C-alpha cells in the first residue's frame, strides 16, 4: 500500500513537473513598433511597420537575401526559359498553410488573381500590369509547378516578386478571404500565424507548429525561418523616449528601429545589446534643376564642394553609416570603384563655381522635417557649411506629409530627403530619373540616362549591367541633380536575454531564428 | 427648464454643421495626401490616382461632403483609410480610454484644488497662500509630456511600481487597469490642480471681499462656517464653469499624455489620423469632440443653478 502510494505520489510529482516544465517552456517576446500597422493584407494598405509584421505571417515564392540577391523561398527552384520570358516556379513539398492545408499551384494562381484584381489595390499591381515586368500569362504546369510568362525579358522580375513593400507577393490560402471575396485575415505559410490585432495597441503572433523550413541558414528574408518563440507581440509605442524606457524596464525586449540619438545611452545600458547594419535607404539633398538657381550645373557642383558631406554623415549617424555619394547602395553587389569615388570638400572651388554660375547670394530654400531627425540634422549642418562658402541656404521645416506632397509635385528648390530602399541598382536610378513633365517627383531629367536605365532592367548578365551602372554613375555625377549623403543604418537595441536577433539591410525586424536564453 | 434644454440642443445643430464643414474643407486644404503617404516615395502618379479613385477621393469635394454628411446623420462616420476600421466604433472604443482617465483626473484634481484655493484665499498674502500659489503656478507651467516622462522614469523605470507601457481595460482586469492608468492620471491631476487652484483662489478672494461675508463674520459666525456655508457656493460657481471647460477640452483628447504612456485614446487617434491624412477619422474625431464639448458644457450650465440660484430666475 505504502509502495503504491509512493508510486502514485511520484507519478503525480512527475506530472506536475511536466506541466510546470511545459508552462516554463512557453516563451514570449515583445517588440516595439513606432506606429500601428495598417492592415494584414500583404502589400495592400501598407507601410514599413505593416510589411515588417506581415512578413512573419506570409511567404512568397522568392525572397531577398542579406546581399539583396533573390533566392527561392516557397519555391524549391526557379527555372528561366531560353528566351528569358518564362519563369517556372517548382514549389517545395511539405509546405503547409496555417490552417493545415498543403501548398499547391492552385494557391499561387488564386493569390495572383487576387493581387492582379485592380480593386484589391495591391501596392505592386502596376509593376506587373505594365512596364518591364508585365506578366502576360500565369499557368499551372502541374500541382507543384507554376509558370509566369512575361511580355519582355526583365532582370527585375524576381526582385519585384520579392519586394518587401509588395508583401513579398505572399501566397495566401483561400481561407484568408470571406465568403463575399473580401480579405479577412492572412492564412499564410510563415513561421508565425496571426493571433490578435488590437488596433492601436498591439499585434500578437503565435508560433506556427506546422512550419516547414528551408535547409539553408537564415539569410535576409530567405533561408531557414524557424520560430523558436511561442508568442511575439508587436506593441505600439509612438514616443521614442517611452520606447527606450520600455526596453530598459523589460516591458519590451526589442526596439527594432532605435533613433541614433539614443545610441550612446543604449550602448552603455546594462542588459541591452545594440546591433547595426547598413540599409539600402538613401539620404540625399535633392536639387530642383528647373529652379533658376540650380538650372546651372556649376551651381549644383558648387554646393557639392561647399558641404563636407563626410563630416555631416559622421555627425548625424554617430559613425553608424559611411558616406556614399552614389545612387547605388554601399551594400549592393554593383558598388565598385566609380560608385565609391568621394566628392571633395573644397569651399574655395565652391565659391569659384558659384561665381561662374552668376550666384549673388540669393536665398535658397531647403525643405526638411523633424520626423526623420538625421535628415533634419543634415540640413542644419549643410546650411552652416554652405554659408562659409557664400551660399545662403534658408531652412523651411515642415511636417512629413506636407514635404512628401511637395516632393511628389516637384514643388521645392532644395530638399533634404530620405528614399526608401530599392534593392536593385536599376530601381535605385529609376527612383529619381524620368521626365519632369509627366513625373514631377523625378529629380534627374536626362533622356539618355533613362534609356540606359531601361536597358539595365532588361539585361540579366551581371558584367554587362555593371558597365551600364558605371556609365550611369559618370553621367549622374556630371549632371549632379542631387547630393547623395549616405545609406541609412538599421539600429536595433534588444535585451541580452535574446540570442540570434540581427539587424539587416532591409531594416525590418525578424523574429525567426531568435531564442530566449535559458 | 425643458424649453431651455430644447433651445440649447437646437442651437448645437448649426454649430455641429459648421464644425463638420470647416474640418472637411480645412483638412483637404492642408498639403499631403493619404494615398501618397500609404504608398510612400516609391509611388508613381498613376498608382496614386487609381487608389485615390478607389477611395472616392477624386470626386468633387462637395459630393464627398454630401455623401459623408448623409451617412454621418445616420451615425455612420465611414471607414478609416489607414486601417479600414469603421470610424464610429473606433472613436467610441478610444473614447472609453480617454474618458476613464480624464474623469478620474478631473474629479480628483477638483477635490484637491477647490479646498486648496479656498485656503489660499483665506490666508491671502501669507506664507500658506504664497506656497500654494507657487506650487500651482509651477504645476501649471510644466509641459505635460515632460512631467509624464519624469513620472514614467521615476515610478516606472527606477522604482518599478507601475508598468511603463500598455493598457488594460477595466472590463478585462480592473486592478491591472488601475496600474496602467495610474501615471497618466497622476500627470493630468497635477497639471489640472495648477489651473483649478488658481481659479478657486481668485473666485474665493472675490467672494470674501463681499459685504455679506463681513456681515456673517460680524455676527460671530465661525471662520469654518463662513468659508463652507457662505463663501463656497458662490466661489465654486466660476470654478465649476472652468471644470466644464477643462473636462470638455480633455475629453476631446489628451494626445500628448496618451502618446507618452502609449494609451490607445481618442487624442492619439486624432493625431495619428492627422499625420496620416486619414480624412474620415479626422472628420469623425472632430465632430465627436464638438458633440462632447457641447454636451459637457450643457450639463455644466444645467447644474449652475445649484450653486447660483439667480441663474434660474434669469
Give the 3-state DSSP-derived string for A239-276, with helices as H, strands as E and coil as C.
CHHHHHHHHHHCCCCEECCCCHHHHHHHHHCCCEEEEE
Are residues A246 and A295 part of one domain?
no
| Domain harbouring A163, CATH code | 3.40.190.10
Are residues A180 and A223 part of one domain?
yes
Output the pLDDT for position A148: 98
Within a domain: A12: no
Q: How many Cα atoms sit within 13 Å of A66 on the Cβ side?
A: 11
Output the pLDDT for position B233: 82
What number is the average pLDDT over the span A142-158?
A: 95
Output the pLDDT for position A6: 45
Sign of CA dihedral B216, B219, B223, B224: negative
A408 contact residues in B (CB cutoff 8 A): 33, 36, 43, 45, 48
C-alpha dihedral, A374 to A483 to A421 to A235, nearest 10°: 10
Q: Pull the grid cell for residue B221.
A: 459666525
Tell me which of A118, A282, A404 to substitute to probe the interface with B (most B C-beta atoms closer than 10 Å).
A404
Are residues B130 and B2 part of one domain?
no
What number is the average pLDDT over the span A195-205?
A: 94
What residues make up the domain containing A465? Answer: 278-489
Output the pLDDT for position B140: 87
Q: Whose CA is closest to A47, among A242, A214, A257?
A: A257
Q: Is the pLDDT of residue A442 over 60?
A: yes
Question: Contact B43/A408, CB-based, under 8 Å?
Answer: yes
Beta-bridge mates of residue A490? A277
Output the pLDDT for position B250: 84
Q: Is the pLDDT of residue B312 over 80?
A: no
Are residues A313 and A287 part of one domain?
yes
What number is the average pLDDT over the span A162-166?
A: 94
Burial (CB count within 10 angstroms: exposed 0-12, middle 13-18, buried 19+), residue A264: exposed
Within a domain: B81: no
Q: How many Cα atoms sit within 13 Å of A104 on the Cβ side?
A: 9
Are residues A225 and A314 part of one domain?
no
Residue B220 contacts A where some CB pair is shorter than 8 Å: no
| Domain harbouring A471, CATH code | 3.10.105.10
Output the pLDDT for position B171: 85
Q: Please, are residues B191 and B146 in contact by the beta-carbon 8 Å criterion?
A: no
**How far apart, in whole angstroms, are the C-alpha atoms of residue A17 and residue A19?**
5
Q: Please, are residues A423 and A324 in contact by the beta-carbon 8 Å criterion?
A: no
Q: Pull the grid cell for residue A61.
A: 515564392
Within a domain: A22: no
Are residues A294 and A187 part of one domain?
no
Residue A384 contacts B where some CB pair is shorter than 8 Å: no
pLDDT in tens, B207-248: 888 888 889 888 888 888 888 888 888 888 888 888 888 888
Within a domain: A222: yes
Q: Among partner residues B41, B54, B276, which is closest to A121 by beta-carbon distance? A: B54
Residue A25: pLDDT band (50, 70, 90) is: confident
| Residue A9 CB neighbour total at 10 angstroms | 10
**Residue B133 belongs to what H/E stretch?**
helix B127-141
Within a domain: B120: yes
Within a domain: B82: no
Within a domain: A260: no
**How far apart, in whole angstroms, are the C-alpha atoms of residue A301 and residue A471?**
19
pLDDT in tens, B75-99: 899 999 988 889 999 999 999 999 9
Are residues B12 and B94 part of one domain?
no
Q: Is B5 helix (H, G, I), strand (E, B) or coil?
A: helix
Q: Pull the grid cell for residue A465.
A: 549591367
Are residues A200 and A144 part of one domain?
yes
- How many domains does one find in chain A? 2
Output the pLDDT for position A412: 97
Residue A434 dihedral angles phi and psi, to the nearest 5° = 155, 170
CA R_g for chain B: 24
Residue A7: pLDDT band (50, 70, 90) is: very low
Within a domain: B79: no
**How far apart, in whole angstroms, are the C-alpha atoms of residue A285 and residue A386?**
13
- How many domains does one find in chain B? 2
Q: Is the pLDDT of residue A230 over 90?
A: yes
Are residues A111 and A234 part of one domain?
yes
Are residues A351 and A397 part of one domain?
yes
Residue B143 contacts A where some CB pair is shorter than 8 Å: no
pLDDT in tens, A369-420: 998 889 999 999 999 999 999 999 999 999 999 999 999 999 999 999 999 8
**How far apart, in whole angstroms, are the C-alpha atoms of residue B121 and residue A226?**
69
Place of cell 524606457: A245
DSSP secondary structure string for all residues of A167-220: GGG----GGGB-TTS-B------SSEEEEEEETTTEEEEEE-TT----SSPPBT
C-alpha dihedral, A104 to A110 to A111 to A113, nearest 10°: 150
Q: Please, are residues B28 and B61 in contact by the beta-carbon 8 Å criterion?
A: yes
The angle at the Cα of B154, spanning B152 to B160, to the nearest 5 degrees, equals 85
Q: Is A291 helix (H, G, I), strand (E, B) or coil?
A: coil
Residue A246 contacts B where some CB pair is shorter than 8 Å: yes
Are residues A111 and A92 part of one domain?
yes
Are residues B107 and B29 part of one domain?
no
Report the share of chain A in percent with pLDDT over 70: 95
What number is the average pLDDT over the span B265-289?
A: 92
Q: Is the pLDDT of residue A2 over 70?
A: no
**How far apart, in whole angstroms, are the C-alpha atoms of residue A475 and residue A470?**
9
Residue A227 distance to chain B (closest CA, Å): 25
Residue B297: pLDDT band (50, 70, 90) is: confident
Are residues A235 and A296 part of one domain?
no
Output the pLDDT for position A5: 45
Of the ranges A184-188, A458-462, B6-10, the best mean pLDDT one: A184-188
Q: Pull the grid cell for residue A455.
A: 536597358
Question: Contact A242/B165, CB-based, under 8 Å?
Answer: yes
What number is the average pLDDT over the span B50-55?
A: 85
> What mean pLDDT value characterizes chain A?
92
Q: Among partner residues A38, A123, A239, which is closest to B83 by beta-carbon distance? A: A38
ipTM value for the complex: 0.77
What residues make up the domain containing B219? Answer: 87-312
Within a domain: A189: yes
Q: Which pTM does this prediction carry?
A: 0.82
pLDDT in tens, A256-302: 989 888 899 999 999 999 999 999 899 999 999 999 999 999 999 99
Within a domain: A164: yes
Q: Please, are residues A227 and A500 in contact by the beta-carbon 8 Å criterion?
A: no
Domain boundary among B74, B96, B113: B74
pLDDT in tens, B176-197: 888 999 999 999 999 999 989 9
Are residues A308 and A201 part of one domain?
no
Q: Is the pLDDT of residue A130 over 80?
A: yes
Which residue does chain A place closest to B81, by CA atoms? A45
Tell me which of A28, A401, A403 to substitute to probe the interface with B (most B C-beta atoms closer than 10 Å).
A401
Residue A431 distance to chain B (closest CA, Å): 7
Residues 6+ positions from A302 with CB-CB distance below 8 Å: A349, A350, A351, A352, A353, A354, A357, A359, A389, A391
Q: Among partner residues B41, B47, B90, which is closest to A126 by beta-carbon distance? A: B47
Q: Please, are residues B92 and A199 in contact by the beta-carbon 8 Å criterion?
A: no
Parallel, antiparallel or unpaired: strands A364-368 and A414-419? parallel
> What mean pLDDT value characterizes chain B?
87
Domain boundary among B49, B74, B99: B74
What number is the average pLDDT over the span A465-483?
A: 97
Within a domain: B91: yes
Within a domain: B100: yes
Within a domain: A237: yes
| Domain harbouring B91, CATH code | 1.10.3720.10
Place of cell 496600474: B179
Q: Is the pLDDT of residue A9 over 60?
A: no
Residue B181 contacts A where some CB pair is shorter than 8 Å: no
Report the share of chain B in percent with pLDDT over 90: 36
Residues 6+ positions from A489 with CB-CB distance below 8 Å: A260, A276, A277, A278, A279, A317, A320, A321
Q: Is the pLDDT of residue A491 over 80?
A: yes
DSSP secondary structure string for all residues of B208-263: HTSHHHHHHHHTT--HHHIIIIIIHHHHHHHHHHHHHHHHHHHHT--HHHHHHTT-
Output the pLDDT for position A392: 96
Are residues B111 and B42 part of one domain?
no
| End-to-end Cα spacing for chain A | 40
Q: Pull the grid cell for residue A274.
A: 545594440
A439 contact residues in B (CB cutoff 8 A): 44-45
Q: Is the pLDDT of residue A12 over 50?
A: no
Residue A435 distance to chain B (closest CA, Å): 12
Report the share of chain A in percent with pLDDT over 90: 83
Q: Pull the grid cell for residue B183.
A: 501615471
Are residues B104 and B51 part of one domain?
no
Q: Whose CA is closest to B264, among B84, B102, B93?
A: B93
Are residues A234 and A136 part of one domain?
yes
Domain boundary among B24, B49, B74: B74
Question: Contact B83/A199, CB-based, under 8 Å?
Answer: yes
Beta-bridge mates of residue A235? A32, A202
Comparing B148 with A479, the larger pLDDT belongs to A479
Residues 6+ positions from B267 with CB-CB distance below 8 Å: B98, B252, B253, B254, B255, B256, B257, B258, B259
Are residues B92 and B66 part of one domain?
no
Amino acid at each position: 500500500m505504502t509502495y503504491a502510494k509512493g508510486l502514485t505520489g511520484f507519478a503525480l510529482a512527475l506530472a506536475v513537473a511536466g506541466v510546470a516544465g511545459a508552462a516554463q517552456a512557453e516563451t514570449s517576446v515583445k517588440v516595439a513598433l513606432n506606429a500601428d500597422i495598417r492592415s494584414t493584407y500583404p502589400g495592400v494598405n501598407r507601410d514599413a511597420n505593416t510589411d515588417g509584421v506581415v512578413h512573419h505571417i506570409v511567404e512568397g515564392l522568392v525572397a531577398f537575401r542579406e546581399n539583396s540577391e533573390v533566392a527561392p523561398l516557397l519555391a524549391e527552384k526557379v527555372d528561366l526559359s531560353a528566351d528569358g520570358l518564362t519563369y517556372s516556379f517548382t514549389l517545395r513539398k511539405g509546405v503547409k498553410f496555417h490552417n493545415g492545408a498543403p501548398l499547391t499551384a492552385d494557391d499561387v494562381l488564386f493569390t495572383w488573381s487576387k493581387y492582379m484584381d485592380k480593386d484589391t489595390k495591391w501596392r505592386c499591381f502596376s509593376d506587373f500590369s505594365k512596364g518591364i515586368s508585365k506578366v502576360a500569362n500565369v499557368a499551372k504546369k502541374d500541382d507543384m509547378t507554376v509558370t509566369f510568362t512575361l511580355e519582355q525579358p526583365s532582370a527585375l522580375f524576381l526582385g519585384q516578386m520579392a519586394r518587401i513593400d509588395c508583401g513579398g507577393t505572399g501566397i495566401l490560402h483561400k481561407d484568408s478571404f470571406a465568403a463575399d471575396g473580401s480579405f479577412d485575415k492572412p492564412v499564410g505559410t510563415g513561421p508565425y500565424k496571426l493571433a490578435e490585432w488590437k488596433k492601436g495597441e498591439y499585434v500578437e503572433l503565435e508560433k506556427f507548429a506546422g512550419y516547414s523550413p528551408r535547409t539553408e541558414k537564415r539569410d535576409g528574408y530567405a533561408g531557414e525561418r524557424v520560430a523558436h518563440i511561442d508568442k511575439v507581440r508587436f506593441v505600439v509605442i509612438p514616443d521614442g523616449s517611452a520606447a527606450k524606457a520600455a526596453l530598459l524596464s523589460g516591458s519590451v525586449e526589442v526596439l527594432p528601429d532605435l533613433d541614433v540619438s539614443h545610441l550612446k545611452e543604449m550602448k552603455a545600458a546594462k542588459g541591452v545589446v545594440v546591433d547595426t547594419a547598413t540599409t539600402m535607404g538613401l539620404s540625399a539633398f535633392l536639387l530642383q534643376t528647373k529652379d533658376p538657381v540650380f538650372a546651372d550645373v556649376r551651381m549644383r557642383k558648387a554646393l557639392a564642394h561647399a558641404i563636407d558631406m563626410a563630416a555631416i554623415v559622421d555627425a548625424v549617424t554617430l559613425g553608424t553609416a559611411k558616406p556614399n555619394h552614389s545612387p547605388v547602395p554601399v551594400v549592393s553587389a554593383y558598388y565598385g570603384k566609380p560608385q565609391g569615388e568621394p566628392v571633395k570638400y573644397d569651399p574655395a572651388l565652391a565659391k569659384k563655381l558659384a561665381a561662374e554660375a552668376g550666384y549673388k547670394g540669393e536665398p535658397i530654400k531647403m525643405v526638411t522635417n523633424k520626423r526623420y531627425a538625421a535628415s533634419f540634422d543634415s540640413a542644419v549642418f549643410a546650411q552652416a557649411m554652405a554659408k562659409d562658402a557664400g551660399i545662403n541656404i534658408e531652412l523651411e521645416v515642415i511636417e512629413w506629409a506636407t514635404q512628401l506632397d511637395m516632393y511628389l509635385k516637384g514643388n521645392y528648390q532644395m530638399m533634404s530627403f530620405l528614399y526608401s530602399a530599392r534593392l536593385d541598382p536599376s530601381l535605385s536610378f529609376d527612383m529619381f530619373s524620368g521626365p519632369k513633365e509627366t513625373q514631377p517627383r523625378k529629380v534627374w531629367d536626362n533622356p539618355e540616362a533613362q534609356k540606359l536605365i531601361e536597358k539595365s532592367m532588361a539585361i540579366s548578365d551581371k558584367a554587362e549591367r555593371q558597365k551600364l551602372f558605371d556609365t550611369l554613375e559618370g553621367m549622374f555625377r556630371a549632371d549632379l541633380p542631387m547630393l547623395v549623403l549616405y545609406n541609412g543604418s538599421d539600429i536595433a537595441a534588444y535585451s541580452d536575454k535574446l540570442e540570434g536577433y540581427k539587424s539587416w539591410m532591409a531594416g525590418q525586424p525578424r523574429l525567426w531564428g531568435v531564442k530566449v536564453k535559458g | 427648464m425643458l424649453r431651455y434644454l430644447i433651445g440649447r440642443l437646437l442651437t448645437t445643430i448649426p454649430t455641429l454643421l459648421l464644425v463638420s464643414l470647416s474640418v472637411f474643407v480645412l483638412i483637404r486644404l492642408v498639403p499631403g495626401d493619404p494615398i501618397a503617404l500609404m504608398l510612400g516615395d516609391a509611388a508613381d502618379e498613376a498608382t496614386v490616382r487609381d487608389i485615390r479613385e478607389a477611395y472616392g477621393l477624386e470626386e468633387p469635394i462637395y459630393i464627398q461632403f454630401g455623401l459623408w454628411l448623409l451617412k454621418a446623420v445616420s451615425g455612420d462616420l465611414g471607414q478609416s483609410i489607414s486601417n479600414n476600421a469603421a470610424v464610429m466604433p473606433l472613436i467610441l472604443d478610444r473614447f472609453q480610454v480617454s474618458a476613464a482617465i480624464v474623469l478620474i483626473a478631473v474629479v480628483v484634481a477638483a477635490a484637491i484644488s477647490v479646498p486648496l484655493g479656498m485656503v489660499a484665499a483665506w490666508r491671502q498674502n501669507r506664507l500658506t497662500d504664497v506656497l500654494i500659489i507657487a506650487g500651482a503656478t509651477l504645476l501649471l507651467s510644466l509641459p505635460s509630456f515632460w512631467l509624464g516622462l519624469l513620472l514614467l522614469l521615476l515610478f516606472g523605470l527606477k522604482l518599478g511600481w507601475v508598468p511603463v507601457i500598455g493598457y488594460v481595460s477595466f472590463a478585462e482586469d480592473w486592478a491591472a487597469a488601475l496600474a496602467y492608468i495610474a501615471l497618466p492620471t497622476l500627470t493630468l491631476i497635477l497639471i489640472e490642480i495648477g489651473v483649478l487652484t488658481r481659479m478657486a483662489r481668485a473666485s474665493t478672494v472675490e467672494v470674501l471681499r463681499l459685504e455679506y461675508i463681513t456681515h456673517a463674520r460680524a455676527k460671530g459666525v465661525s471662520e469654518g462656517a463662513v468659508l463652507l456655508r457662505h463663501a463656497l457656493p458662490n466661489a465654486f460657481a466660476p470654478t465649476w464653469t472652468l471644470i466644464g471647460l477643462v473636462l470638455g477640452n480633455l475629453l476631446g483628447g489628451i494626445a500628448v499624455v496618451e502618446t507618452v504612456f502609449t494609451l490607445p485614446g481618442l487624442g492619439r487617434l486624432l493625431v495619428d489620423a492627422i499625420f496620416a491624412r486619414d480624412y474620415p477619422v479626422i472628420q469623425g474625431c472632430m465632430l465627436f469632440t464638438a458633440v462632447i464639448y457641447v454636451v459637457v458644457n450643457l450639463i455644466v450650465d444645467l447644474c449652475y443653478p445649484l450653486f447660483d440660484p439667480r441663474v434660474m430666475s434669469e
